[in-house]
Each structure stands twice: as C-alpha cells, then as structure tokens.
Structure 1
Amino acid sequence: MQDRLIVGLDVPTLGEAEAVVRDLDGVISFYKIGYQLAFAGGLDFARDLVSSGARVFLDMKLLDIDNTVAKGVENIARMGVSMLTLHAYPKAMRAAVDAARGSSLCLLGVTVLTSMDEGDLIDAGYEYDPHTLVLRRAEQALAAGMGGVVCSADEAAAVRRIVGPEMAVVTPGIRPAGAERGDQKRVMTPADAIRSGASHLVVARPIVKAPDRRAAAEAILAEMKAA
C-alpha cells in the first residue's frame, strides 16, 4: 500500500515540505508536488526526492497548445518523476503521449476537479454534469493512450469499468471518517476509494496537518490494506 498512498506536499515552503518528508520517513515513499510548492523551489526538491529513491507525482495540470505541452512533457520526463497531470483535453493528451513515449512517465488526465460540482461546471460553460464529463474524459484518455486519469473516488468505479484494469485511477479528495472536507465537494474515505477501484489515493491535509503525521499516515495505510 505504500506505493498506492501519495501524500500531497501542499505546504508553502521547502522547509515545511522537508519536515513532512522527515516525519514520514519509512512510512511513505510517494509524494505529490503541486503549484504551491513548485513555485517555492519544489521542482528542485522533486529532483532531490527522486535521487533519494522516493517517487514523485508532479501535479502541474498542463494545458496549452500542442507544441508547448509536448516540450514541457519532454523536460519533465527527464526529471525522473513517476506521474504528471494534464487537463484531459484530447489534443493535449495526444501531444503529451507522443512526447513521453519511451520514458517511464505515467501521464494522468485530470477529468473534473474534486472541488467542482454541477453548479461550478454550469458557471464554467460546460453542458455536462460532473459524472458525465468525468466518464467522457476517461474514454478520451483511454483513446489517447494515457497512463491513467484523476477523478473523484465517487466516479472511480465507473471510470474503472471504462479504462480497464491496467490504467491508473488516481483519486484526490480522500478524507478519513470524521475529517473536515475543506474546499473539497466530492470526497470519500480511503477504504471506500480502494473498494471503488482506485489505484492510488492522494491525501494531503489529513496527514500534513495532523498533530502526529506518522500516525495519521499509518492509520490510512491500515484502512487501505483492510479494504
């Protein structure tokens, strides 16, 4: 389960990120770096983590013209990180797959953010409800040759039926029973996410903000294993 639990280093400074990694040494070996830390020296820290033997999920949610996406993916693949996100737009996904070919980089298509519900999608101009849009983008990710998708655990079972057993189904918005939702709107417990077909769970605040990070991570790992 250590390979399936990804801890989000959603902290503002490298010092705090280093403290999280120290606290979780020997328990967690997979970390997510997103915008907040990336723009505070997190890209170099990602290289350091890879050099130390840890795995890194770079959550950049790329979206741009095909050539720009491709060139970005080529450089990211050279960093040695394990996973990279981009928004699941068909043209961007196809460009990324071509650029990553021959590397071990797992490309993940972000379907619908777990902070968004139907009202948010309507405001953004989409004609689909979250569930329908997630499934449509999962189909497009499969067709593009992506390594996996990112979706709410609410949709994991339906996505798994579409993408089959090999693709990664990565689920953020994981909250242990009793934990606060924060800004997440579509959440699920670790056990339910595993039962629903998620291959990897992304957990940030319930571990990073816990009084005892190590104990919090171990409890989630135990729940995943039991499921």
Structure 2
Amino acid sequence: MSEPRIIVALDYPRAEPALVLARTLRPELCRLKIGKELFTIAGPQLIEKLMQAGFDIFLDLKFHDIPHTVAAACKAAASLGVWMVNVHASGGRNMLLAAREALATSPTKLIAVTLLTSMNRDDLQEIGWQGEPNDVVQRLALLARDCGLDGVVCSALETAGLRQLIGHDFDLVTPGIRPVNSRLDDQQRIATPRQAIQQGASYLVIGRPITQATDPLATLIQLNQAIAS
C-alpha cells in the first residue's frame, strides 16, 4: 500500500478529543497534524501517545525567529520523533539554513510555510509585500529549495506552477482542502482533494471535513478513494 497522502489536522483545544478521534482513524490511511493550540496544552506527551498508536506526526508550529533559536527548536522537535516539522520561509535564508543544518542527520522532514492560505492580495498589500500571492509563494518556495528544505506548505492553487518551476523531488503540502460542497470556513485559496492531487500536491492537510464528520473514518476512506481515482 502506498504511503498516506492525507494529513488530518487535529485542531482541538485539549488532548482528549484528539485521542478519541485518533482511535477511530487508521495509521495506514492518514498522518496527523498537531498545531500550536493543541501542542501548547498537551505537549510532547500527546505526540508520544499518537506515535505509539502508529501515526506519523506533522508538528505544525511554524517556527519563525532568529536562526539560532529556530535551529534549536527544530532539533528539539526532531528529538520527539516527529515525521515532519515546519518553519516560516519568510524568516529568510540564514534562518532556513540554520534549521536545515540542525536536522542534517535526522529523518524528520523540514518544510517551510510560504504564504498562509487565509491571506489574499489585500492582506499582502497591507503588510507591505509586493506582488500577487502566487508570486510571493514562488519566491519563497525557491528560497526554501535553495536552502535544502524538503518542501513547502502552499495552496493547492499554486501547486501546478510550483511543480513546473521546481520539479517533482520536492514536497508540496497543501492546506485549504475542502471536499465538494464543503464550507470555506476561514480559508481563501482552496481546492478539492482530487484537484489538489491533479495539480501536483504531495500531501493534503484536511481538518474539519474529517474531524467534524459524523463518521470520520468513512469520510477518510472516501477522501482516499477520491485521491486514488
């Protein structure tokens, strides 16, 4: 069986509902993502429990600080045994290189956030960033690749262009995935699972469509079937 392409976002305020959901899912069908809120309240202990259940963990803390601090944080994250960790590409070349060096001997994947999927052109202008969202994403993705990272987080709408620009030996992790007829919630630049895979995504981050489903496992199976088709 091929590796799981779906990463389920455990966007919960405490550990118990995350563990309840994990018990309904299957490690061969998905990986799990732990973000800032859940990690802050539940910490490494939750990661250990989920890994003992067989799940690969994407620790989504988006480190962004001076190079030394980010390098130390990445090394600490890798010591937990997580599958993937991320940083903000906008932290710049020196920060990205420091993070890469910190994980030089670790199997933990290191990826960079290009542009948050909640941001649009107006948001970019307000903070003084020039260009369309796609231009910003491409610049930051090229920087991440040049610094030796394993991939980037990007919108599925940008994956086709990035694949053409960067090639296939580079992970594209795409949040903002919504099955057909799902709510947008706070996402702006979205795609369906099938669209995302067709456009070149490596992994799909899916949260509420699975975590709020009446039957999360059945939904996960259906999403995998949509990807496979």
TM-score, with normalisation over the residues of structure 2?
0.95
Q: Which amino acid aligns with 1:210?
A: A
Contact 1:174/1:189 (CA < 8 Å) preserved in 2? yes
Which residue of the partner structure matches residue 204 of structure 1? 207
Across the aligned residues of Structure 1 and Structure 2, the Cα RMSD in angstroms comes to: 1.3
**Aligned mates of 1:43, 1:113 — CA distance in 2:** 25
Return the match for 1:106 from 85, 105, 109. 109
**Aligned mates of 1:136, 1:25 — CA distance in 2:** 37
Shift of 1:36: 1.4
- Aligned to 1:217, the other structure's residue is in SS state helix
Q: How does 1:1-227 map to 2 (within 5 A)?
A: 3-25=4-26, 28-88=29-89, 89-226=92-229
**Aligned mates of 1:166, 1:50 — CA distance in 2:** 27
Structure 1, gaps ≥5 residues long? none
Contact 2:4/2:28 (CA < 8 Å) preserved in 1? no
Q: How many residues align?
A: 226
Contact 2:27/2:55 (CA < 8 Å) preserved in 1? no
Q: Which amino acid aligns with 2:60?
A: D
Shift of 1:29: 3.8
**Aligned mates of 1:152, 1:56 — CA distance in 2:** 21
Shift of 1:215: 1.3
Shift of 1:27: 5.7
Summarize deviations over 1:57-99 as a string: whole Å, max 9, x none: 0001001001101111111111110111110032221110011
Shift of 1:42: 3.9
TM-score, with normalisation over the residues of structure 1?
0.96
Would the alpha carbon gap of residues 26 and 3 (structure 1) be closer, same or farther in structure 2, given more than 3 Å must change? Answer: closer
**Aligned mates of 1:19, 1:49 — CA distance in 2:** 11
Structure 2, gaps ≥5 residues long? none
